[in-house]
A and B are shown apart, each in its own frame.
Chain A
Amino acid sequence: MSEETMAGRRVGSPRARAIRQTVAAAPFLLPSLVLFAVFVFYPLVRSIWLGFHATDPFGRNEVWVGTAQYHDVLTSSDFRHSLLVSGQFALYTVIPATAIGLYLALLSHRRLPGIVIFRTIFSSTVATSVAVSSVVWLLMLNPSVGVLNYVLGKGGVPTESWLTSPTWALPAVAMTTVWMNIGFATIVILAGLQNIPEELYESARVDGAGRWSEFLHVTLPGLSPTLLFVSVVGVIFAFESFGQIQILTQGGPLDATNVIVYSIYREAFLHYNIGLASAQAVVLFVIVLLLTLLQFGVARRWVFYQ
């Protein structure tokens, strides 16, 4: 039902119209609201609540402890370390995945016979589950039987125990994550490319623009909302990464890959310090919220909406 037919039937005050629209929208929104309430809002409220309470390891005997657990979290060197690891992890994953995704999208944004095959290949990692790709990478990174060390060895490059080295574990996990995220980045950027009007390129060519300046002055500005989206989502993905850490390194060695979500998991489900874990989760929520707002704030200067 469009606005005009509703307005045409009965012209009311703007306020009455707003109410009517809300009433009409409610049944459509309700299913997702219910799901959000059950799986997002309730856990969120519960986490905040638990952050202010200490419990026994079984989640019983809640005792109000005020901000003590938040204080513990914010002053703990382990939490600061995890924050740092998460930040590094975001840096190592978002920039390469976006850059490679952009490159692959540009490559496959042409009219060529069979290009669909390449687009499918480039974006295929989006259809691979985190668990499956982590297990595949676990085998490839295996120091004694993995293909990576085999190839490096053949090429005369020194091999490495990727996942057991405190120096290399985080880059290795980041590399697998970049691979997983490339598919998503490629699809979204490709869609963004297809939304840039062809006339812009035509007039750029008429003005004598080369390929490079076409890319700089037409493609990039046209893609900027897409790139913003990919990077915002990438940062959120990075801060929420869990599966690959759990399968590849379990946060080790020496906490080199103990990102925040993993440390929350460890605190809640291995140590059963539920209140402390909840406080960490709330702090993480605030951090990701601030980061996202920051990205949107910065983006206002360079994102070009048509």
Chain B
Amino acid sequence: MRRLAALCAVFALTLAAGSGCGSGGVRYSHGRVEVRLWHSMSGVTGDALKKIVDGFNASQSEYTVVPIFQGGYADSLKKLVSSLDTSSMPALIQLDDIELRFMVDSHAIVPAQDFVDADARTPGSHPANLADFEPRALDYYTLNGKLQAMPFNLSGPVLYYDRDVFAQAGIDHPPATLDEVRADAQRLLLHNPDGSLKRNGIALSINGWWLEQMMAKQGALFANNGNGRQGLATKVLIDSPAGIAVLSWWQQMVRSGLATNVGTSGLQSLLAVVTGKSGMAIESVSALRAIVLALGPASARLGVAPMPAPPAPDNSGGMVLGGAAMWIMKGRPLAEQRGAWEFLKYATQPQVQAQWHYDTGYFPVRVSAWDLEPAASLHRQYPQFAIAHDQVVRSPRNLATAGAVIGPFTQVREYEQTAFEQVLVGGKTPQEALATAAKDADRAIARYNRSVR
């Protein structure tokens, strides 16, 4: 199918006549407008999304949403970029949080705000009740004063820990700061009779997201110009005291053997906790549902706590609400765009979000969804979800917790990752590594900013 599309594209180019391949008309299927949705949900989350789509398709007779799994977010974006201005472009695409600036700069999307405003002008429409949306999610996806994309699946990092192991070590509450993590890790160490380490304190994976989150938790900006929200970001601020504090802790923990570095795969760190090789791990809350499904009642042993971080000076710090959002593409005909918007309104209804939260463990986009069934019963059965959610609602709303907006964010994350690796296995100091990463990131940002002007 893709080869066919590629062939089609090539012929269109060589003949300079897009007959049969043009990006023109509305797609129809069985008399309804067809709205193609590219997404990155597979397995449990894929099934949950399918449930929402089926619900929407059955709820009305004007549109048919066709969900198409396109691999991870990066793969999906790659395909989107090569499909821009062709007929294979979808009307709706789910992309992860950090693509915000990139998508706005593409000029290939219609801001969700435009549809919100249009609904407000149209009598008889059913406008989205933004007042009931998680305000931190709206904060994240609002740029240039407009809601650019519709937040859909929300997540954040949490601390996972083995409650039994904590109880055995006589620790009665999970650590809140990095110093407490170090102290607890010390008590969690377990040695084999031959003196080798049987269990370490915490399994740490390498991910730029951890650095970004821990900086926000200190109330620190990740990028200049108000995290890129008051003006175009031109510099990252990772070589600040807030950034250095995080990497220094990381280095000490791994060097002293209190922590194990599991590399770039976050699931490895969770696996270490589940198999008893580590007492704690830092991972996204989006993994929680799958673990609970796999372990069942045994998952009561797995504790969840807010992600620990250096304390913020004046309670200005909090979590950045991550996850992904849905984007409406400008290149598709208006009828398809409208169908996409109607679908988004359906998908973010409180009842639908309560089910979505129950199925996937992602935080619901709607505030009122939290207390609806089946979400409420999930919280009764697994209090871990409520603890994770607490971290969201306790986060103050400011520029630091709204999250950074940078064009080449994927590239910046690579440099963050390199900084981690240089500190953990390359023998550099956190100051050196972060200064190098900042310099490389700034160069990438400058190149990007130049190219989109």
Report which A residues bind B (CB closer than 8 A): 38, 42, 54-59, 61, 144-145, 161, 163-166, 250, 252-255, 266, 269-273
Contact = CB atoms under 8 A, between A and B. Distances in A.
B198 interface: no
Contacts of B410: 270-271
Nearest to A72: B447
6 contacts: A42-B10, A57-B407, A144-B277, A145-B271, A254-B422, A254-B426
Interface stretch (B258-266, B336-344, B382-390): B258-266
Contacts of B249: none
B346 interface: no
Contacts of B351: none
Contact of B421 (A57, A144, A253): A253
Given A54-B451, A250-B264, A254-B418, A271 B271 contact: no
Given A57-B407, A165-B425, A272 B447 contact: no
Interface in B226-265: 261-264
Contacts of B451: 54-57, 61
Contacts of A56: 105, 451-452
Contact of B105 (A54, A57, A144): A57
Name which of B74, B275, B414 has the most chain A CB atoms within 10 A of its CB. B414
A271 B425 CA distance: 25
A56 B106 CA distance: 9
Contacts of A254: 418, 421-422, 425-426
Nearest to B82: A59
B425 A58 contact: no
A273 to B, nearest CB: 7
B108 A161 contact: no
Given A58-B108, A166-B426, A266-B414, 20 more contacts: A54-B451, A55-B451, A57-B105, A57-B408, A57-B448, A58-B81, A58-B84, A59-B82, A144-B268, A144-B271, A145-B271, A164-B263, A164-B264, A252-B421, A253-B421, A254-B421, A255-B418, A270-B410, A270-B411, A271-B411
Q: Which 6 A-B pairs have the closest CB atoms?
A: A164-B263, A271-B411, A56-B451, A254-B421, A269-B78, A253-B421
A164 B261 contact: yes
A23 B20 CA distance: 33
Nearest to B13: A42
Contacts of A273: 447
B417 to A, nearest CB: 7
A165 B417 CA distance: 14
Contacts of B426: 166, 254
B288 interface: no
B217 to A, nearest CB: 26
Contacts of B272: 144
Given A56-B452, A57-B451, A59-B81, A166 B277 contact: no
A161 B444 CA distance: 31
Contacts of A57: 81, 102, 105-106, 407-408, 448, 451-452
A191 B441 CA distance: 52
A252 B425 contact: no
A47 to B, nearest CB: 14
Given A54-B451, A56-B452, A271-B444, A161 B277 contact: no
A221 to B, nearest CB: 44
Nearest to A250: B264
A42 B9 CA distance: 12
Contacts, number: 72
Contacts of B102: 57, 272
Nearest to A161: B263
Name which of A163, A255, A270 has the most chain B CB atoms within 10 A of its CB. A270
Name which of B262, B421, B451 has the most chain A CB atoms within 10 A of its CB. B451
B422 A58 contact: no
A98 B410 CA distance: 39
B73 to A, nearest CB: 11
A263 to B, nearest CB: 11
B81 A252 contact: no
B5 interface: no
B393 interface: no
B44 interface: no
Name which of B10, B263, B411, B418 has the most chain A CB atoms within 10 A of its CB. B263
A121 B272 CA distance: 36
B7 interface: yes
A142 to B, nearest CB: 8
Contacts of B271: 144-145
A266 B263 CA distance: 19
Contacts of A38: 7, 10
B153 to A, nearest CB: 22
Contacts of A250: 264
Contacts of B78: 269
Contacts of A166: 421, 425-426
Contacts of A161: 263
A53 B319 CA distance: 41
Nearest to A165: B425
Contacts of B263: 161, 163-164, 252-253
Nearest to B440: A78
Nearest to A43: B10
A243 to B, nearest CB: 14
Contacts of A266: 414
Name which of A253, A254, A255 has the most chain B CB atoms within 10 A of its CB. A253
Contact of A270 (B74, B82, B108): B74
Contacts of B261: 164
A166 B448 CA distance: 30
B14 to A, nearest CB: 8
Contacts of B444: 271
B264 A252 contact: yes
Contacts of A270: 74, 410-411, 414
Interface in B420-448: 421-422, 425-426, 444, 447-448
A270 B264 CA distance: 17
A155 B263 CA distance: 25
B332 to A, nearest CB: 16
A306 B281 CA distance: 65
Contacts of A163: 263
B108 A164 contact: no
